[in-house]
Structure 1
Amino acid sequence: MERSCSWCSSEQIETGKETVYWELPDGTRAIEITDVPSVVCHDCHIVYQTDEIVKTIEDQLFIVDTKSIAKTIAFEGLMNLPKLLKKNYFDFS
């Protein structure tokens, strides 16, 4: 877990679950993902997802059938979708 805000360096942060909107990798549409692990800063009032969570979502969207995803899906539901590939072969990092 982060110990300080990535934006303002405040230590007045807490974790929560928030709703985010994500464009699918093919660019055809955006979806709403609910209950995403997030960081909330009480000083600068930003709500964001850690780099690890962002990568997790992006990797998952590359390896599942995105056509089967409804307009809204819970984070855990997204993570539990059947995978078409073993891993994200498009990640060259």
Structure 2
Amino acid sequence: MICVWCNEDKARETTKECYWILPDGASTVKILQVPAMECLDCGIYLEDDLNEKVEDKIYTSDLSGYSDVFTYEELMNAPTI
């Protein structure tokens, strides 16, 4: 796959753990198994559209029943507000 940062054919799909700040601005959550890209030269990164998808879902979901650690799939299945 082509890396969006260096435009080299050195990228592959992977997953990573990510931290996000919740809308209250005071707390964070750890999201496991977030789809990501790994480039041999650039390292692991999230593509912009996926980053926006996670941000939108965090801001529009009821996460009150979740701990501060959950998976990407759990986030995508979270009930909306």
TM-score, normalised relative to structure 1: 0.78
Q: Which residue of 2 aligns with 1:59?
A: 56
How does 1:77-92 map onto structure 2 within 5 Å? 77-84=74-81
Higher strand share: 2
Name the structure 1 match of 2:34. Answer: 36
SS at match of 1:60: helix
Residue correspondences, number: 81
Structure 2 residues not aligned, in runs of 5+ = none
What is the aligned-residue RMSD (CA, Å)? 1.3
Provide the rounded CA distance (Å) in 2 between the counterparts of 1:67 and 1:33.
15
How many angstroms does 1:35 deviate by? 0.5
Q: Which runs of 5+ in 1 are unaligned?
A: 85-93
TM-score after normalising by structure 2? 0.88
Pairing 1:9-24 to 2, within 5 Å after superposition:
9-24=7-22
**Counterparts of 2:11 and 2:53, CA distance in 1:** 22
* Residues 13-54 of structure 1: CA deviation (Å, up to 9, x unaligned): 00011111111122121111000000000123x111111111
| In 1, Cα distance between equivalents of 2:63 and 2:78 | 10
Contact 1:18 1:34 in 2 (8 A): yes
Equivalent-residue separation in structure 2 for 1:68 and 1:55 (angstroms) = 23
- For 2:64, what is the secondary structure of its paired residue? helix
